[in-house]
Amino acid sequence: MQQKRFRVRPLCKAFGAELTGVDLSRPVDKELYAAIRAAFVDYQLLLFRDQDLSPAGHVAIGRSFGEVQIHVMSQYHADGFPELYFLSNLDEHGEPSGRHPDRGTLAWHSDGSWRRVTGQATMLYAIEVPRVGGETHFCDMYAAYEALGEDMKARVAGLRAVHNLDFSRTRRHGEDPMSEAQRREVPPVDHPVIRTHPETGRKCIFLGDHAETIVGLDYQDGRRLVEEINALAIRPELVYRHVWRPGDLAIWDNRCLMHRATPYDTARERRVMRRCTILGEVPH
C-alpha cells in the first residue's frame, strides 16, 4: 500500500515545498492524492526528488489532476505519448547538438496561456541535467499582484491581454516556426490580466511571454503595457530558483506562478526533461 503521509519542507519563504516520503512509481490512493492536491493549492509548487517515473506513470499522474494537454507542437511529443512534451538538446546519436529545444521557455511565462482553457498544472520531470545552468525559476503571481501599487492595480483592473503562441514562438524560436496547420489550431485568445484563482479566490497577475498586446489599445501601446506589467511581475524576492537533479519531479500551478528556464551550454551539456501539462479552466 502506498504510504499515507509525507513530510513537507518549504522551498522558500513565499511558496514551494518539497514533499518527502512519496514514491510516485507506486499507485497513489485517494487519500494521498487529496493530500498532494491540497499541498499543491497551498504551496503552488511541489517538488518530489528521486522519482523513477516512466512515461506511462507520468501521464497517469497527470490525469489524476485533470484533462491532459495534447500540445499543438506535435514534434515535441515524447515516447509515443502525445500527452508528454520532450525537451532535449541531444541529437539522433544521443550527443549534445548545440541547439536549445525551445528558447520560448527561457522567458517568463505561464504554460498554455495561449489556449482558451489554460494550463492548470505542469509536471516537469528531470532525466538528465547540466552541471551548470538549465535551472527553472518560479515567481509568485499572488505576491506580484499584491506588490503592485494602488495606481497600477487600478490601471490594470479589467484589462484583457491577447495571448498568442505564434507571436511568442516567432519571437523566441523563429528559426523553427509553427506550421500553418498549427497556427490554425491555436488562434490568439484573450484573458484577464488579473485573474482570480478558482480554488483560493486570490487575485494574481496572469500575463507572461505569450501575451502579445492589450484588447482595445493600439497594438504598440498594448505591447508596451504588456512589457511594463511583465517587468513589474517579476521581483527577485518573489523568485524560487530550482537547481535540478535527475529524478526530480516538479508540479506547479500555472494559474498563480510564472516560470522560466535558464540557459546552459547546449553544445557540451546534456539536458533531457519530460513535461506533462494539465488543463484547468477559462480564466476569470
Interface residue list for ligand OGA (CB under 6 A): 87, 105, 111, 124, 136, 259, 261, 273, 275
Max CA-CA distance within the chain? 59
Interaction partner, residue 28 (ligand OGA, Mn ion, none; CB < 5-8 Å by kind):
none
- Closest contact distance (angstroms) between CB of 111 and ligand OGA is 5
3-state secondary structure of 164: coil
Q: Which is nearer to Mn ion, 148 or 173 (CB)?
A: 173
Geometric angle at alpha carbon 73, from 69 and 75, rounded to 5°:
115
Choose one: 5-13, 64-72, 103-111, 159-167; the region binding Mn ion (CB under 5 A).
Answer: 103-111
Q: Which is nearer to ligand OGA, 159 or 212 (CB)?
A: 212
Amino acid identity, position 265: D
Contact call for residue 102 and Mn ion (CB under 5 A) = no
Interaction partner, residue 255 (ligand OGA, Mn ion, none; CB < 5-8 Å by kind):
none
Contact call for residue 18 and Mn ion (CB under 5 A) = no
Interaction partner, residue 148 (Mn ion, ligand OGA, none; CB < 5-8 Å by kind):
none
Distance of CA 249 to the CA centre of its chain: 13
Contact call for residue 209 and Mn ion (CB under 5 A) = no
Residue 21 grid cell:
516520503
Interaction partner, residue 87 (ligand OGA, Mn ion, none; CB < 5-8 Å by kind):
ligand OGA
Tell me 13's DSSP state: S
Residue 149 grid cell:
501599487
Residue 225 grid cell:
503595457
Q: Which is nearer to Mn ion, 105 or 213 (CB)?
A: 105
Contact call for residue 248 and Mn ion (CB under 5 A) = no
CA dihedral sign, ordered 214, 212, 210, 257: negative
24 vs 201: CA distance, rounded Å: 29
Contact call for residue 111 and Mn ion (CB under 5 A) = yes
24 vs 13: CA distance, rounded Å: 26
- Closest contact distance (angstroms) between CB of 273 and ligand OGA is 5
- Give the residue carrying C-alpha cell 514562438: 169
How many residues in the chain?
284
- Count of residues near Mn ion by CB under 5 A: 1
Q: Which parts of this chain interact with Mn ion (CB under 5 A)?
A: 111
